[in-house]
Structure formats: structure tokens, C-alpha cells
Amino acid sequence: LPVQYKDEVGLLMANINYVARCLEEHLQNTSQNAAFDHLTGVYNRRASENRLRDSIELSRIRQTALSFAILDLDNFKGMNDTYGHDYGDTVLRYVGELLRQNVRRSDWVGRWGGDEFVIAIHGNENEAMAMVSRICEIVRRESILAPDQSFQRLSISVGVCEWNE
């Protein structure tokens, strides 16, 4: 709305513009929050399903390779049962951050289930395997401090496949 008027109408228009901008920002934040898993910071299941469809369509259009990796944390239920859900949340946050930091900008990560993650990799199965191998190597090297002050090593089971029409 035009705000050049210096009377009550101009002030009203300026206020309406302000409210409209605030609502737009709120809608954008809500949309973004609805797409991401609050704990891990990666796409949630619903957003992952949408990204999956988009990635497949883009791969079809561009006629490029598209691969997927499914990662499952081994013995996650046991960690939750032994050390509590706060520790389980710590582990999930760690894995989410690890995955986000080790995928390319063109790829994406989603939390598929409780302790399952999916990575869409714009590339062939060999490229996907190389990426997943690097991630597995990091997981093998590092450990996470548990509530009893012990260091716990994580292990993950991984499957990789190349999408094919």
C-alpha cells in the first residue's frame, strides 16, 4: 500500500504493510518448521516424501543418475532403554548433524522413522557408496559420551541403491 501520505490514512497503510510483512514472515517460518524434524534438523518424513517425488522428477527431466541411501542406527532401542530418551535424543541430533555436514548441497537428508534416515544423492550408486563410506568411517571413529560417563560407539546399517525407472 502507498505510505507517502502523512495523515491517518498513510499511517494506517503503513501499519497494514507492517502486519502483512509480519504475517508473511510467520507463514514462511511455519512452512519451514513444518518441513523439518525438530530434533535432528533434517527433513521430516512428509517433507522427505515430497522431496523424493521432486528428486525423481528432476532426475527424469535431466536424465541424470539418482541414488538413495537408507541408514538405520543399530541398537537404538537398547541405548534408549539403557541410558534414557534424553541420551537417545542426543544420539539422533548427532547423527542428523553428521549427515547434514557430509552431504553435498545438491543432496538432501530426511528422517524417515525413529532411528532411520534417508539420503538422496544426485549421482550414481558408486558416488552414493563413496559418500556413505565416508559417513560410516566417521561413525566408526567417533563416540558419544553417555550419562554414565562412558563413551559409546555408534554403528549403523546402510543400504544404497540407484533409482531406475
pLDDT, average across residues 111-139:
95
Q: Would you state the pLDDT for residue 15?
A: 80
Helix (H) or strand (E) holding 116: strand 116-121
Q: Would you state the pLDDT for residue 10?
A: 77
Q: Flag whether pLDDT at 58 surpasses 90.
A: yes
pLDDT, average across residues 80-101:
95
**Could you give the angle at the alpha carbon of 96 between the alpha carbons of 165 and 37, nearest 5°?**
80
Q: Would you state the pLDDT for residue 36?
A: 92
Is 115 catalytic? The answer is yes
Which entry of 7, 89, 107, 115 is annotated as an active-site residue? 115
161 or 24, which is more confident: 161
21 or 36, which is more confident: 36
47 CB contacts (<8 Å, ≥6 apart)? 34, 35, 36, 110
First to last CA, the chain: 50
Q: Would you state the pLDDT for residue 1?
A: 59
Give the percent of the chain with pLDDT over 70. Answer: 93
